[in-house]
Amino acid sequence: MKAQINKFLINCSILLFLLNSCSSLPGGDARKNPPDPKERVAKNLEEGKGFRLSNATKALGGTNFEFASSNELWRASLDTIDFMPLTSANYSGGIIITDWYSDNSNNNQSIKIIIRFLSNEIRSDALDIKIFYKNCSTATNCIVSEKETALINELRKEILKKATLYKKDFIKKNFKKYDYPENSRN
């Protein structure tokens, strides 16, 4: 008898929980949506609520992983400093570190650049750029120092400019307008 009462209480608790959670079901409000199905489809696609098969596979992964080639800031940074050898380029860690670089004019001075990505958005505060200078009087006697120079702002400006162009090209290339099938138009 006591087991039946426990089963009854558990079933009632589950039923109450399920009924209580139904109050916040997602769905459309008929007063806010147009009654015509074609207009609803167009409105949903404009608001980003549409369904395309190319987007269906994204839901399977469960993560918001982007490839490095699709991140405009990352690509622009690598393209801007492509003349320098890289020590480390870690996309998931959000950092690019160059090796020491010197041009042929002065072999005693070298430069190293570290770029940290603070955001994927194309903004001036999305990048943290540090430049280190190494001056060597002999092969074993070197002084390394970090300096705030105009080169940091020039690099940031060039990276942001290239990233903006990459973003515009990406949007232009991947824009897909929703077209109704010809036989369904009135």
pLDDT at position 147: 86
Q: Which amino acid is at 141?
A: N
Q: Nearest to residue 95, comparing CAs of 114, 70, 121? A: 114
Span 132-176, pLDDT tens digits: 999 988 878 889 999 888 999 999 999 999 999 999 998 888 777
Tally the domains of the chain: 1
Q: Is residue 20 part of a domain?
A: no
Cβ atoms of 113 and 81 closer than 8 Å: yes
Q: Is residue 63 part of a domain?
A: no
pLDDT at position 172: 84
Q: Is residue 41 part of a domain?
A: no
Q: Is residue 122 part of a domain?
A: yes
Q: Where are the beta strands (DSSP E) in 61-126?
A: 86-90, 95-98, 109-117
Read off the CATH number of the domain in which 135 is found.
3.30.530
Q: Is residue 27 part of a domain?
A: no
Q: Is residue 95 part of a domain?
A: yes
First to last CA, the chain: 67
Tokens coding 4: 């039946």
Domain that holds residue 106: 68-174
Residues above pLDDT 70, as percent of the chain: 72
Q: What does the alpha-carbon distance between residue 125 and residue 51 come to, in Å, rounded to a whole number? A: 34
Q: Is residue 16 part of a domain?
A: no
